[in-house]
Structure 1
């Protein structure tokens, strides 16, 4: 069994870690895009999150991780109604993957040996109720991007080919990482990520030393290192579970809604997805903090990650999108 670096042991990168925690609290936020240089802990954080997440209840043997037997598709042929606990799925979608591998296809082995048409589930089935992770997402082929956009919109995977007509739930949190030097992300896919985070190599010498120290300790004596940080990971996991329970009871006033709208108008963001994501992220932060209502501090905390990737380009403004959001937050929220 692969041992992943503990989430709580990651040095710095607080915004990246918070964004991933928020999607674990409320998957409706819409996923996380992490852009930054190589070696800044992007993939490490995703792997660490996988080990941190609370387990899910699923029907035994169900290929789409259905929580109830009625939700397990007929084509799966699952008769058991027994539920088991399993780790929250975190599925890698590799570059160069075929469409059949993503959506599923005819089970050739069963067709040849038994003479029956049967469906072989793809990565989208395995990712249901979990995470779909794409490293170097900006290099993903266009036809796979289009496919993901369709499924992310509907929450359902539909396969019509080779005499098969298959449908199954495909609701997942999309996590993408990439290096901006290797190309930009298509606007249609960029807009599908709820949160966006920019990461960079630390410039503080003490912080860099601590990164080296912890990574070396992890590789030198993994068992001891994992034991040292296990309790911290458990605390974060417990906070996530408590926050999930609090989420539906978090209150938001009309003043909070007005602040969300003013921020997005000030930044010129298109559509209303920015306001909705900002509100959901602020609600998740409030729940994570154990509070029963959203305040302006919560909006300040999540505004950069919820809005920086929704801005129109301004060739006359040399400041980055994060700086533009910070200015707008200061103007609107004080």
Structure 2
């Protein structure tokens, strides 16, 4: 498909042109650098640019190698990310055609059925022709990519369970009439929602790696800038995108370099102990908080081009990693992210951000 034609049909607002909402942008970038962080839940007021920012991420996604004409975006070398068909071809020593493609982002519509999400098995074909006829769903398309669910708090709880189970295990299994088909479904799950429309159940919220909060910009000059940016984009999307091309290219390069650097980064033992102390003293259930904070701190250091992790890296990411894991106190008025930062200051011995 002609990329220019695609852009003319559906131009995407440049990520680097988005004003403010630094917390949300950082959480998204860290998940692109290390998908094992486990996705992002973005909660905030209506009209704060949640969907715009997530869709703007598409331009920044790096290229990956996939097996040509495979509906699951199978990895050509990693068996954990291959479909059964590709594994079979490798066992038979068949040559695989390998192509480079952009990481894809799949939108999950609110009214989607479980069949649309997970895929369906054609029982009639299976019985008459003796083959496992599988029609892939959105989870297959999202493998090795991003699955975005707008208004995730309005999604049926059963579907949310399915999504989170697949995101956690990396596999999707469809069973019908005694026939079972599995395929890799490793994706970054991004959900957004408005807290006025209801919160996710705590056990589901905990499964998202990070939780970003966005609010309406209060500064009048910033609001004017946002309005002007949007008007300029709507008037001539292509010219607006061209004006941000260098900034977009630089950020793409930074993400690619960070992905390469990630494996070289180690967190010193004393910093890891402090992270776990914070989680323990905040009564965070389970160990997901510890694991995600470690991963996010590494991804942030990689994004900044360093192999050394500093306490400031941890301070930047830890509210995003823990705020949604704290037990809710109905009498507590303070933001849970500030509670996390207070505990960080106690454990690390800092009295304010300025001292770091």
Q: TM-score if structure 1 supplies the norm length? A: 0.94
SS in 2 for 1:91: strand
The root-mean-square deviation of aligned C-alpha atoms, in Å, is 2.1
SS in 2 for 1:306: helix
Q: Between Structure 1 and Structure 2, how many residues are aligned? A: 334
SS in 1 for 2:244: helix
Instruction: Report the counterpart of residue 244 of structure 2 in structure 1.
Output: 229
Whole-angstrom CA distance in 2 between matches of 1:76 and 1:68: 9
Structure 2 residues not aligned, in runs of 5+: 1-5, 351-356
Instruction: Report the counterpart of residue 30 of structure 1 in structure 2.
Output: 38
Instruction: Report the counterpart of residue 74 of structure 1 in structure 2.
Output: 85
Whole-angstrom CA distance in 1 between matches of 2:165 and 2:237: 41
Describe the shift of the 1:242–1:135 C-alpha distance in structure 2 as closer, same or farther (beyond 3 A).
Answer: same
Instruction: Report the counterpart of residue 315 of structure 1 in structure 2.
Output: 330
Structure 1 residues not aligned, in runs of 5+: none
2:127 aligned with 1:127, yes or no? no
Instruction: Report the counterpart of residue 257 of structure 1 in structure 2.
Output: 272
Describe the shift of the 1:55–1:113 C-alpha distance in structure 2 as closer, same or farther (beyond 3 A).
Answer: farther
Whole-angstrom CA distance in 1 between matches of 2:123 and 2:231: 46
Instruction: Report the counterpart of residue 158 of structure 2 in structure 1.
Output: 143
Whole-angstrom CA distance in 2 between matches of 1:265 and 1:115: 54
2:76 aligned with 1:61, yes or no? no
2:60 aligned with 1:52, yes or no? yes
**Deviation sequence 1:218-269 (CA, Å, 0-9, x none):** 1101111110111111111111110111111112111111110121123221
Q: TM-score if structure 2 supplies the norm length? A: 0.89
Whole-angstrom CA distance in 2 between matches of 1:112 and 1:155: 29
Whole-angstrom CA distance in 2 between matches of 1:328 and 1:85: 45
The CA deviation at 1:318 is 1.4
Instruction: Report the counterpart of residue 96 of structure 1 in structure 2.
Output: 111
Between 23-32 and 92-101, report the one with greater CA deviation: 92-101
The CA deviation at 1:162 is 4.1
**Deviation sequence 1:279-304 (CA, Å, 0-9, x none):** 10000000111111211010011011
Instruction: Report the counterpart of residue 43 of structure 1 in structure 2.
Output: 51
**Deviation sequence 1:140-197 (CA, Å, 0-9, x none):** 1022122223222321111111453211101011100000000110222201111101
